[in-house]
Homo-oligomer: A and B are copies of this chain.
Amino acid sequence: MSDKFVGALRQIALMGGMHDYIAISSRELGDLLGMSQQSASKRILELLDEGLIHRDLGARRQRIRLTDKGAELLRKEYSEYQKIFEMRDHVVIKGTVITGMGEGQYYVTQAGYQDQFEQKLSFRPYDGTLNVRVSPADITKLDSLRRGGGMVVKGFEKNGRTFGDVRAYKATIQNVDCAVVLPSRSHYNDVMEVVCKYHLRRTLGLRDGEPVEVRVSLT
């Protein structure tokens, strides 16, 4: 809806209209936006109507400046692009799907972990994990995940056996929500376990050896 307005607003801002009135005719604006003088004139009236610009309609040339609301709208747009290009709040880890040794499954199905998962990840993991062999180039990223951040899932004892603390990060694979689970104390290892509400292999149609990218959220 407001989509229509941002092109014109941006052009005005580029000419300095964020800080000052700038002189611009409807024909000029139309040319810059690839539309007719008439349409540009109409667009300007619409922007005025929406309270996105101030206008000072002189005898010869009109002068235009963005209102706070107009500047705000542009800033919002800008922040969308920042999210795309400057995401420092996540890491992408590449790897390939492998068949695990059932260890992950054994761990994840423990009620002592499950309850905490459900509470902290806001979903109860499917009974099983997706095992991803992390590509050599991204093992350093995995290491820094192990070292800190994320959420700590407390360990427990059961039947005389100790289950240690585990670190979990919210993550997505192909836009499907999941979580990466890493034992806090772990030797060098290039396998990453991913839990999900659904059966990931089936949901995404992943087969052994297929490459995957896991987007791990750091927040």
Chain A interfacial positions (CB closer than 8 Å to B) = 1, 3, 7, 10, 13-16, 18-24, 34, 58, 60, 63, 74-75, 77-78, 80-81, 83-86, 92, 137, 140, 172, 174-176, 204-205, 213, 215
Residue pair A23, B174 in contact (C-beta under 8 Å): yes
Contact (Cβ within 8 A) A81 B137: no
* Interchain CA distance A121-B20 in the complex, whole Å: 23
Q: Give the docked Cα–Cα distance between A80 and B77 (Å).
A: 11
Copies of this chain, whole number: 2
24 CB < 8 A contacts A-B: A1-B34, A3-B7, A10-B81, A10-B84, A14-B80, A14-B83, A16-B172, A16-B174, A18-B84, A19-B215, A20-B92, A20-B213, A22-B175, A23-B175, A60-B205, A63-B174, A74-B81, A74-B84, A77-B81, A78-B84, A78-B85, A81-B81, A85-B137, A85-B140
